[in-house]
Structure 1
């Protein structure tokens, strides 16, 4: 359980929700609703031997009257918590034939944006947590990421290839505003003139325009802004703590005006829910300064096959069966298909129609399609000086 793992002095808590007692009371008066969260439950991960179930037996309200702060906090665990992730390396490598980068860095595990559809949710089960609410409120931060990156880039055997930043969980989620890990990483990449690819749905990226514009001037960066819908109500339900659609468009324009190459990721396309917005999203993005676009059809791996239908039950019960049927029509009758050839695009007549609709929209509004075209000038890369090592730390000293 997370409470046991988080019991040391390295645990940090903050809340952008439930800022007063009345807000917390409202949450626990409606246990079937999770205000400001994308998940409706906290099911145990697939590796756990014991399964949890949400049952309102009155103890949550009783806990609020408890004088034991530790007990009350664990019983009313609405607040976001984070702890340090003591990773030994930060660059992750993959050989997936349908992924357009070989290297990536994820400064955080878990994501407070709380997107109901997030394909990264099942990764939280490797930590012993739930892919549901735990993914949104129990976060890990790699505080030494910039130092570790410098050490890996300083290795003489390192071969420079573009690094994708924040592709599993958003590198600009709310916690980044406090910790600044992503900015520290960008400073190292700028210093070494290393090409980088960013994707985010957060307006916080505007904070780093000074660094991004310098990378852009050297043709070392591409940025993608993810826009799922232009409907504020749908966005609030689907991505409860992410920037509103109009705010993302303003961010896109700010980046484009600063000379930073920017694209739109129309992702995920959810059949029977937001697929009718493809043309409108592409048009709005082109007007905001985007020069390219890509689209990914909804994926529901592992726990998402339960979590997403729960979300539909809570927000669109009358459309639920129609949407699930449409998803199955893209996945050979299943909710997910992990085949490299079709996992991002789906298959069948409806998948072909979505692809044609997207490509037509891009041609109409003058956006390039396909995989992001990275600024791949690796000739500028310079190995940095390795990070300073504390005297004798991990080293055998001389006898004389």
Structure 2
């Protein structure tokens, strides 16, 4: 086990304290709590890394999240198995949620060690369903959904050409798993970890809380510097994931110990969980107010990006940005604050119900 090369001191930024003076370098790990190693894998996208964790379990390790199923991730893991993890086997693989940077390499790792996969039921079944859906190719209902949001022909063709990306980033998902549910207690290395479930970013996101020393593996449910994507996708076009997300954040705010150490999937370990939960809630409330102001004139989902995002949205981010815009629009519609109308071409236009003061 080794830590990275940065020797700067722990620091405080925007009310959060970052206690680790170093990032793990490739092939290395940092012990962030007793028996818990912090590992980073690279991602080929704007969000360029994922944090995964190895928790000591007797003569082996429980791995929490796995990275993408790509050769570079496999190679990084092999280096870790022989180096920082000391040649000890993986006894179980816990996956916080279904997204490919978390679940992608899990099947590969489970097969390599004969280790069980542990996930919540909705995350596991949703992932299996999405892989099967990808195999069937683009479908008419999804195309109609995106055209309703204002996508042009070129956008639709780009979406069709890239369809199936979820499955392509996944090792075969094991056909057997061990279900994790709210309130379950896992014995890992003789210490108890309680399962805490959130939703909104994904349907049944698992977090793990070791209460005896206040260590909290948060996955994407609580991140220190960014807010997780909350999206409405073509499969469930009328749902309200932002409502689920805000409710989950309020629930965590009421339940969690303010002094716990948060180990997130992106960014760095930090203290200040209540301050961060409040900031996440406040950020969405501010975005919703800006969105309402922008809807004094009718807009499509693709017209409101400026109210919700600080950066320019290009073709590579169009799907995610459309999904997040719809999550905010559906949230406001459910609460009677905006309405949607369809024009003769079936395109949806949104308008605020009453002026924002």
Which interval holds the TM-score relative to the shorter structure? Answer: under 0.3
TM-score, normalising length from structure 1?
A: 0.24
Work out which structure has the larger RCO, using CA pairs closer than 8 Å and 6 or more positions apart in sequence: 1
Instruction: Answer 1 or 2: which has greater strand percent.
Output: 2
